[in-house]
Structure 1
Amino acid sequence: MIEQTLTVVALDGHTAHLEAQQKQACEGCNGRCGSQVFGKLFGTAKKTFPFKFESPVEVGQKVTLSLDDSHMVKHAFAVYMLPLFLSLIFAFIAAQLFIASEGWQILAAVLGGISGYFIAKTRVKSLKHDIKVIKIHPISIPLTQIDGD
C-alpha cells in the first residue's frame, strides 16, 4: 500500500480537492544536481486531486489516503510496455511476413508505437483506483487560540 497525507484546499459539496506537499527530489546537494535543475525548469505547479468523502471535512484539514500497489504496476505496464511491445511486434511482422525494407520496418514500428499509445490511453482510463481513507486528521488549534487567551 502506498500512503500519502494530503491537505484539503477546497470543498465542492461532498467532494474535497486535495493537494499533496511537494517534496524535493534530493535535498543533499543544495540544488547542484540535475533533478533539482529539471524541477525548477518545469515549474512547481501544484495539482489538486478531487475525492468524495462520506464524512465532512474542512479546508486546511489533513487526510491520509492509501492506494493499492497492484494498480500502479498495471498502469506502468500499460503506459510504458504496451507501446514498446506493439512497436517491436509491428516491426517484426513487417520484416518477417512482408519482407519489407528497413524504411517500411521503421514506419511499421512507429505505427505500432502509436497504436500502443492509444490502446494504453483507453486502458488506463478503464482501470479503477482503489483509494481508501486511512485517517482524517483533526484540525490543530494554534497555541495563541487556547482558552483563556
Structure 2
Amino acid sequence: MIEQTLTVVALDGHIAYLEAQQKQACEGCNGRCGSQVFGKLFGTAKKTFPYRFDLPVEVGQKVTLSLDDSLVVKHAFAVYMLPLFLSLTFAFIASELLLMAEGWQILAAALGGITGFFIAKTRVKSLKHDIKVIKIHPISIPLTQIDGD
C-alpha cells in the first residue's frame, strides 16, 4: 500500500479537493543534481484532485489516503511495456515472416508502437484506483503561550 497525507484545500459539497505537500527530490545537494534540474524545468505547479468523503471535512484538514500497489504496476506495464512489446513484435513480423526491407521494418515498428500507445491509453482509462481513507486528522489548534502560564 502506498500512503500519502494530503491537505483539503477546497470544498464543493461532499467533494473535497486535496493537495499533496510537495517534496524536494533531494534536499542534500543544494540544486546540483539532475532531479532538481528536471523539477525546475517542468515547473512546480501544485495539483489538486477531487475525492468524495462520506464524513464531513474542513479546509486545512489533513487526510491520509492509501492506494493499492498492484494497480500502479498494471498502469506502468500498460503505459511502458505494451507499446515497446508491440513495436518489437511488429518489427519481427515484418522482418522474419513477411521478409520486408529494413525501411518497412522500421515503419512496422513505429506502427506497432503507436498501436500499443492507443491500446494503453484506452486500457489505463478503464483501470480504477481503489483509494481508501486511512485517517482523517483533526484540525490542530496552534498553541500560543499566554503570559503567566
Task: State TM-score, norm by structure 1.
Answer: 0.95
What residue number does 1:107 align with?
107
What one-letter code is carried by the residue in structure 2 that aligns with 1:68?
D
Q: Give identity over the alignment, percent.
A: 88
Between 1:28-37 and 1:62-71, the stretch displaced more is 28-37
User: SS at 1:81's partner residue?
Assistant: helix
Correspondence list, 1:32-51, <5 A: 32-51=32-51
Structure 1 moving runs of 4+ over 4 Å: none
Shift of 1:144: 4.0
What one-letter code is carried by the residue in structure 1 that aligns with 2:35?
S
Task: Provide the C-alpha distance between the structure 2 equivalents of 1:123 and 1:27, rounded to a whole number of angstroms.
Answer: 37
Correspondence list, 1:82-97, <5 A: 82-97=82-97
User: SS at 2:129's partner residue?
Assistant: coil
Shift of 1:12: 1.0
Between 1:32-41 and 1:83-92, the stretch displaced more is 32-41
User: SS at 1:143's partner residue?
Assistant: coil
What one-letter code is carried by the residue in structure 2 that aligns with 1:91?
A
User: SS at 2:17's partner residue?
Assistant: strand
Shift of 1:14: 0.6
Unmatched runs of 5 consecutive residues or more in structure 2:
none
Correspondence list, 1:1-149, <5 A: 1-144=1-144
Unmatched runs of 5 consecutive residues or more in structure 1:
none
Task: Provide the C-alpha distance between the structure 1 equivalents of 2:10 and 2:24, rounded to a whole number of angstroms.
Answer: 24
Task: Provide the C-alpha distance between the structure 2 equivalents of 1:68 and 1:108, rounded to a whole number of angstroms.
Answer: 36
User: SS at 1:133's partner residue?
Assistant: strand
What one-letter code is carried by the residue in structure 1 that aligns with 2:4?
Q
Shift of 1:145: 9.8
Shift of 1:10: 0.7
Using a 3 Å threshold, how does the CA distance of structure 1 residues 54 and 145 change in structure 2: closer, same or farther?
A: farther
What one-letter code is carried by the residue in structure 2 that aligns with 1:11?
L
Task: State TM-score, norm by structure 2.
Answer: 0.95
Task: Provide the C-alpha distance between the structure 1 equivalents of 2:46 and 2:145, rounded to a whole number of angstroms.
Answer: 30
Aligned residues: 146
